[in-house]
């Protein structure tokens, strides 16, 4: 099942509202055909990205290295906030950063509050939705539906896994979705009732770390992105767009959900993943080539096949600062 491509030009008003609220060693490979204006010496390209991007990015990386044999891509996947802080707080260098919530980049990388500036732009390139996945072994699996899910998940004895809301967007987006569900279904207390079954012992830095526990029957349900459900061929709840954070046109409704984490109060917004090249990227030229590839037809197909919604053209914050090589692949993000 492939996800649909979003027609962003038809929803500029909603998108404008959305953005107004946003804050190694040498390779053993042989160099291929010379690339004009760029060194073809062996390169190790480092990518820090959200855990949910691992499968499609690994596919993109292989295709990119096949096209440019002198480049070895070294990806590191984890919670988006954690990966960004590797750059901004721990002094690690990355050539490309990819996050599951576009607002993470301006919040931590744009130099707010006099902090060092690690990025000047970003591009939103795919979308997603929050859901719960389960297996035939899960408690209540034979009774659960998109209409009664919140009752089943709150039943005594049900074990729910989720990611850390302090380090991973899906963690706090799950909390935001549950807040929205309280209003949508008219069920005050829905969120607390479900979270009682998702204790600290069932939390990991990224939700994908719990897939093995789900398949082994150690947990019954796992809060995760729809793209992961599709990639891993898992049963999932097709939750309404009013709560699953998938629809950019519903920004006004989403922003009613505010949750509190170690990083402060976080207001819900549509899920849009973003990419940038840090200002201190050691191989910015090759990072740019990678972004061209990822945003181009081959990259878009990989992301679509992996269950993501495609934002085409990609939405660029501070479009004037986006490198010239990407200008034909992006459009100004309305409201910025």
Strands 272-276 and 96-99, bridge-based pairing: antiparallel
Topology classification of domain 5-127+271-332: D-Maltodextrin-Binding Protein; domain 2 (3.40.190)
| End-to-end Cα spacing for the chain | 34
d(CA 113, CA 107): 10
Q: What is the pLDDT of residue 4?
A: 38
Instruction: List pLDDT tens digits, range 287-304.
Output: 999 999 999 999 999 999
| 46, 49, 51, 56: CA torsion to nearest 10 | -80
Q: Residue 72 has which token pair?
A: 């070895």
d(CA 209, CA 278): 27
Are both 5-127+271-332 and 130-267 of the same fold?
A: yes
Residue with tokens 């009682």: 196
Nearest CA to 214 among 100, 204, 13, 312?
204
d(CA 42, CA 40): 6
Q: What is the pLDDT of residue 113?
A: 82
Please, are residues 276 and 49 in contact by the beta-carbon 8 Å criterion?
Answer: no
Predicted model pTM: 0.84
Instruction: List pLDDT tens digits, range 16-26.
Output: 334 443 443 33
pLDDT at 41 over 50: yes
pLDDT at 15 over 90: no
**CA-based torsion, 316, 319, 324, 328: positive or negative:** positive
Residue ranges with strand state E in the chain: 5-6, 43-50, 71-78, 96-99, 122-127, 130-134, 160-163, 203-204, 221-225, 235-236, 258-261, 264-267, 272-276, 309-317, 330-332
Three-state SS for 42-89 is CEEEEEEEEHHHHHHHHHHHHHHHHHCCCEEEEEEEECHHHHHHHHHC
Q: Structural domain boundaries of the chain?
A: 5-127+271-332, 130-267
Which residues have a Cβ under 8 Å from the Cβ of 286 and sit 6 or more positions away? 38, 43, 45, 68, 71, 95
Please, are residues 123 and 305 in contact by the beta-carbon 8 Å criterion?
Answer: no
Residue with tokens 């046109």: 249
Which CATH number is 130-267's, of 3.30.1540.20, 3.30.450.40, 3.40.50.300, 3.40.190.10? Answer: 3.40.190.10
Please, are residues 219 and 234 in contact by the beta-carbon 8 Å criterion?
Answer: no
Instruction: List pLDDT tens digits, range 111-166.
Output: 988 899 999 999 999 999 999 999 999 999 999 999 999 999 999 999 999 999 99
Q: Give the SS3 label for residue 294.
A: helix
pLDDT at 33 over 50: no
Instruction: List pLDDT tens digits, range 224-279.
Output: 999 999 999 999 999 999 999 999 889 899 999 999 999 899 999 999 999 999 99
């Amino acid at each position: 099942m492939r996800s649909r491509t979003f027609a962003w030009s038809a929803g500029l008003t909603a998108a404008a509202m959305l953005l107004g609220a946003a804050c190694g060693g040498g390779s053993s490979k042989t160099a291929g055909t010379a690339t004009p204006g760029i060194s073809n010496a062996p390169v190790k390209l480092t990518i820090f990205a959200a855990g949910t991007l691992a499968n499609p990015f690994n596919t993109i990386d292989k295709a990119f290295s096949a096209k440019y044999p002198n480049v070895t891509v070294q990806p590191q996947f984890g919670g988006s906030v954690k990966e960004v802080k590797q750059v901004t707080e721990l002094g690690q260098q990355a050539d490309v950063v990819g996050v599951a919530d576009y607002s993470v980049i301006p919040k931590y990388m744009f130099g707010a509050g006099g902090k060092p500036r690690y990025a000047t732009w970003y591009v939103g390139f795919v979308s997603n939705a929050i859901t719960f996945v389960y297996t035939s072994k899960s408690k209540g699996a034979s009774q659960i539906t998109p209409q009664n899910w919140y009752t089943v998940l709150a039943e005594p004895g049900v074990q729910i896994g989720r990611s850390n809301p302090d380090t991973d967007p899906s963690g706090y987006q799950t909390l935001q979705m549950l807040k929205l569900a309280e209003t949508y279904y008219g069920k005050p207390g829905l969120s607390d009732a479900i979270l009682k079954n998702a204790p600290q012992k069932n939390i990991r830095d990224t939700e994908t770390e719990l897939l093995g526990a789900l398949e082994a029957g150690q947990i019954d349900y796992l809060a995760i992105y729809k793209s992961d459900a599709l990639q891993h061929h898992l049963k999932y709840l097709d939750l309404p767009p009013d709560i699953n954070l998938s629809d950019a046109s519903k920004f006004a409704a989403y922003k009613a959900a505010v949750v509190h984490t170690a990083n402060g109060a976080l207001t819900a917004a549509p899920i849009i993943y973003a990419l940038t090249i840090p200002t201190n990227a050691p191989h910015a030229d090759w990072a740019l080539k990678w972004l061209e590839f990822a945003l181009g037809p081959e990259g878009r197909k990989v992301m679509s096949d992996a269950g993501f919604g495609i934002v085409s053209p990609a939405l660029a914050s501070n479009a004037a600062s986006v490198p010239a090589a990407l200008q034909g692949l992006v459009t100004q993000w309305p409201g910025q």
